[in-house]
Amino acid sequence: MLNHELIHPPLLEALATAGHGSRILLADGNYPYLTMVNPAARLVHLNLAPGLLTVTDVLPLIQTAVNFESAAVMRPAEGVDASVQEEYRRQLGDDVPMELVDRFDFYDLVRSPEVGLVVATGEVRLYANLLLTIGLSSHRGG
């Protein structure tokens, strides 16, 4: 029995095979999962229903398993509420820089070979896609 907050087997397997520099997309419910991702990336569906589970639900659990060195979000269109991105900023902390990326540049990043995991969530807020880059582990061997 796992004694850890994250117990989802496919997520654990994907995170265990990822390393420093690998990227993870926590995608909102509007993201085109099949066409705008690296075809080799593992796709894990956590989109049970609209609003279940959200990116802000999933992020803290994934943070218990891996460290992040950077993040990227889509630049919102003018006048669109993208306050969810401020929630990400708070959850990630000041040590993880977050870059605003134009929509099609964001899609290009997600299609890159560095993206090994795409997590489909039930997030309904707009511009809620979060691309995370894994940093060094705090568990270093000698």
> What is the C-alpha separation between 136 and 70, in angstroms, rounded?
11
Q: Mind listing the pLDDT tens digit of every residue in the chain (142 residues)?
A: 566 788 899 999 999 999 899 999 999 999 999 899 999 999 999 999 999 999 999 999 999 999 999 999 999 999 999 999 999 999 999 999 999 999 999 999 999 999 999 999 999 999 999 999 999 876 554 4
In this prediction, residue 2 carries a pLDDT of: 63
Contact criterion met (CB below 8 Å) for 73 and 85: yes
Task: Output the CA angle 35-51-107, nearest 5 degrees.
Answer: 25
In this prediction, residue 97 carries a pLDDT of: 97
Q: CB within 8 A of 118, min separation 6: which ones?
A: 24, 25, 27, 33, 37, 38, 41, 42, 43, 44, 110
Q: Which residues pair with 74 in a beta bridge?
A: 101
In this prediction, residue 4 carries a pLDDT of: 75
Give the predicted TM-score (pTM) of the model: 0.93
What SS3 class is residue 110? helix
In this prediction, residue 54 carries a pLDDT of: 97
Which domains, from first to last, does the chain contain? 20-134 (3.40.1650.10)
Backbone dihedral region of 21: left (phi > 0), alpha (psi from -120 to 50 degrees) or beta? left
Contact criterion met (CB below 8 Å) for 122 and 53: yes
